[in-house]
Structure 1
Amino acid sequence: MATQTAGKLLCLHGYTQSGATLHKKTSALRTTLRKSLALTFSFPTAPHRVQPFTENADDRESSAATLQADLGDEEGHWAWWTHDEEAKTYKGLDQGMDFLAKVLEEEGPFVGVMGFSQGAAMAAMLSSALERSLLKSSHPPLKFAIIYSGFRAGYPQYDNYYDPKIKTPTLHVIGQMDSIVVPERCQKLVEVCEGAEVMEHPGGHFVPSAAPYRKGVVEFIERCLKKGSEGERATL
């Protein structure tokens, strides 16, 4: 068991969910990360309240996430942004980023970020924003990002998050049977992450809790933290 904390992990929930939803659904993973790395966690709830049922085609996670959020979630239904298909924009994204900048300042520092679905897309953009000083925060770039069922923002105005490629080390966990954020869509985010690692599981749109996938996450974080500490020593 780890004797010294490896740091704090920022955890971002999916569309129509909440911080409490993701906290419940990552119980086994949290236990493993706490025992193996002594990580601590923050599960903020996104700032935009949304209806539990929607036909938002862009997020394509709405119906499944709604079913998950309805199972005992007392915090309501929230999003990091809402898709305005007519205007071809992610309404509220800037406010979502400002909200996370405040979380970073008040609760950080964080060693990394983990996100599910829309939260995974947000995790990638947050990692990029910290690399490029696009965020209203003095927080340093993250050492890693864990992306569960993540996707690339779909409009040209967001290309600055992906070009040049995101340099923060990323692990993309993709469900081979995911019909909400299909593997091909996940792959588009993989392609804009430099040196991205991919771990597939045979299931659908969820955070896999089986031991091999938890072990894979632990090993990825260990590699990132080791690389980060070596880099810090090299600059001394």
Structure 2
Amino acid sequence: MSDNNNNNAAAAAPPSTAKPAKNNGKKAAKPAPPPKRDLKILMLHGYTQSGALFKGRTGALNKVLNRALGEMPAATRTTAPPTDNWGWFQHDEGTGAYRGFDNGMQRIAESIREAGGVDGVMGFSQGAAFAAMVASAMEESRTLPADEKLSNWATQLRSANNNKPLKFCIVYSGFVGRDPALQWLYEGGFATPSLHVYGGLDTVVSEDRTRGLWEKCTPTEKGGKAQVLVHPGGHFVPVKKEWTTPIAGWLMEVLKGETLEPAAAEEKA
């Protein structure tokens, strides 16, 4: 009996007379958006060159990108390796194998990890061939070879970038790798949006070789975006405004709608 009385009393209790707090007509503040970070581009120089040299020669492009990106973060560039007269590999004419390939990819993985991850890659000549391989190996849909000896370097790349694929790949005078052990990188084409720039008078990397890579990077069934830009010069990176502006425009289109959230390493800092 007493239990029923208690329940009735609780049910009959009058509503609270406390008045809601006034906000003086102001809307509730929206949570602040996450801080943006710089667009990170991994720079891969050509054979017997250096990261510092390549970065210096593409400085004009960097300025155009920073102006064109507007509200987007500025582009910062990570170079690998930092010393002079490096090659990413040496082609063995007898076997077709690329000597030193794994060491080169290991150095790239280290650079990506040191940068806290990267958004895209840009390379020239041999570095361009490597850039395309890096982008391909990091694609989520790319199946790695069962033999760990053939895929260990790719696993390191993915781990260094927190298993995130690259958003874009820009190659100057690139070409398809000839090593038979690397052909899995080209099977089915590339899903990573790619821009291929080469000189119509290039006698070091022929137009056929460069176009061969471009054709590999046009995976219609995967929806990848590939574009080619031909300048009237030879084997070099064009830095005049008439050639850097289209590159900036292409990159803006590729990154449209992308949000550059802080990388995991930066969030912990």
Equivalent in the alignment of 2:246: 216
Indicate conservation of the 8 Å contact 1:98/1:135, yes or no.
no
Mapped pair 1:87 → 2:95: yes
Residue-by-residue CA offset, 1:55-81 (whole Å, 9 max, x unaligned)? xxxxxxxxxxxxxxxxxxxx4310111
Mapped pair 1:24 → 2:56: yes
After TM superposition, where is structure 1 displaced by more than 4 Å over at least 4 residues in a row? Answer: none
Q: Which amino acid aligns with 2:215?
A: E
Distance 2:134 2:61 in 1: 22
TM-fit CA distance, 1:227: 5.3
Distance 1:182 1:227 in 2: 36
TM-fit CA distance, 1:41: 0.9
TM-fit CA distance, 1:21: 1.2
Distance 1:151 1:160 in 2: 15
Q: Tell me which structure has the larger Cα radius of gyration.
A: 2
Indicate conservation of the 8 Å contact 2:79/2:111, yes or no.
no
Q: 1:13 aligns with which of 45, 52, 69?
A: 45
Equivalent in the alignment of 1:117: 125
> How many matched pairs?
198
TM-fit CA distance, 1:199: 0.6
Equivalent in the alignment of 1:56: none
Seen in structure 2, the aligned counterparts of structure 1 residues 112 and 6 have a Cα distance that, compared at 3 Å, is same
Equivalent in the alignment of 2:68: 36
Larger displacement relative to structure 2 (104-113 or 184-193): 104-113
Q: 1:96 aligns with which of 101, 104, 109?
A: 104
Q: 1:202 aligns with which of 200, 220, 232?
A: 232
Q: Which amino acid aligns with 1:101?
A: A
Unpaired stretches in structure 2, ≥5 consecutive residues: 1-35, 145-153, 219-224, 260-269
| TM-score with structure 2 setting the length | 0.70
Residue-by-residue CA offset, 1:162-194 (whole Å, 9 max, x unaligned)? 002111000000100000001111011011102
Unpaired stretches in structure 1, ≥5 consecutive residues: 47-74, 230-236
Equivalent in the alignment of 1:181: 205
Larger displacement relative to structure 2 (182-191 or 37-46): 37-46
Indicate conservation of the 8 Å contact 1:29/1:214, yes or no.
yes
Indicate conservation of the 8 Å contact 1:5/1:40, yes or no.
no
Equivalent in the alignment of 2:184: 160
Residue-by-residue CA offset, 1:71-111 (whole Å, 9 max, x unaligned)? xxxx4310111111122211011121122112112213211
| TM-score with structure 1 setting the length | 0.79
Distance 2:199 2:206 in 1: 8
